[in-house]
Amino acid sequence: MIWFSFASPIVMVVAVWVAYRIGKRSRDQLNQQQGPGDLGHAKVVVQDLEQISQQVRRSLVTHHASIVQFKERISKLTETGDAEALKELSREAEQILQPTIQLASQIAHAYDDIRQHTDQLSSPEQLRTDPLTGLSSRRAMEDILKMLFAMKSRYDTRFAIALVDIDGFQKINDEHGHVRGDEMLRSFAATLDRTVRETDVVVRFGGEEFVVIMPETDLSGASVFGQRLRKSVRDELQLAISVGVAEARDGDTLKSLHARTDSALYSAKAGGGDAVFQHTGRHIEMTRPLKQVALPPTGDNACDEITATTTGV
C-alpha cells in the first residue's frame, strides 16, 4: 500500500500522457465526428485576428516614427559634418537595430498566427493541432500545462519545459522564401518529435519556436534533453538551435514558468545561439555540451531516462 501511494502519481502522469498520445493518433477519427467550425468559433478567430493586426499596427507606427526621426538627424548631421555627433549617431543606429529585429520576428509570428487561424475556421479540432507541422498547438499546450500544474499541486509531481528556437531562420525565409521555410519547419518538427520520449509533448509555439513539455523531469534532465536535441538537429539537419529550459516550481503559473524559460532562451540567443541555457529560479546559466551524447530513447522504456541524467554544471 505504501508503494502504491508513492508510485500512483507517476503512474497517473504516464497514463495521462499515453492516453494523450493515443488520442493524438486518433485525430482523424475525431475529425470525422465533428462538423465544420460554427459561427461562435469564427467570431473568436476574427477577434484574435483583430488583436494581431492591432498589435502589429501599433508596433509599426512606433517603429516608423523612430526611423523618421533618425533619418532627420542623419540629414542635419551630414550638413554640419560634426564627427563626434556622427559617432553618437552610429551608436543610436545599433539601438534601432534591435527593435527592427524584434519587429521582424513579431511580423513573422503574426503571419503564422493569421495562417493558423484561417486554417482553424474549417474544424474546431484544429485549434489543438498546428496545421503546418501536425504538432500540438498553443491552445493544447495551455490545457496540458494546467493539468500538470494541478498534478504538481495534488501529488507533488515535477515537470519541466524547453523553449526551442531555430537560429537564423528568418534568413532562410528571406533568401529562399516561405515555401522553403515551411519545409524546414516540417523537417525540424519531425526530428524534434522523434527525439522526445513517448510521454513528452511537442508544441509549435509559433513561427520557428517550439515547446517541449517533459513530465517527471527535473531541471538537470531538461538541460540534458536540450543538449541532445541540439546535437541531433545539427547532425540531421545541419541547423543550429537555441534552447531555454526551466522546471516548474511551487507557486508557479503558466505565465511565470514561460517567462523564466523565455529568459533562458533569450540568453542563449544573445550569446550567439547554438547553446542551451537553464533558469534555476534565481539565475540563468549556460549548460555545458555533453560529450559522446547518444540520441535519447524514444520507446516506452525511456520514461525515467532524462530524469536520471545530469549535465555536470
Do the Cβ atoms of 126 and 114 come closer than 8 Å?
no
- Beta strands (DSSP E) in the chain are 159-166, 201-206, 209-215, 241-247, 275-279, 284-286
What grid cell was written down for 53? 493586426
Contact 297, 210 (CB under 8 A): no
Residue 13 neighbours by CB under 8 Å, 6+ apart: 148, 151, 157, 199, 215, 216
Distance in angstroms (rounded) separating the CA atoms of residues 162 and 279: 11
Place of cell 544573445: 270
How many Å from the N-terminal Cα to the C-terminal Cα in the chain?
38
The C-alpha cell 500545462 sits at 145
Residues 6+ apart with CB under 8 A from 254: 142, 145, 146, 149
94 is catalytic: no
CB-CB neighbours of 282 under 10 Å: 6
- 68 Cα distance to chain centroid: 34
Residues near 109 by beta carbon (within 8 Å), at least 6 away in sequence: 206, 207
Q: Of 208, 209, 216, 247, which one is the catalytic site residue?
A: 208
Catalytic machinery residues: 208
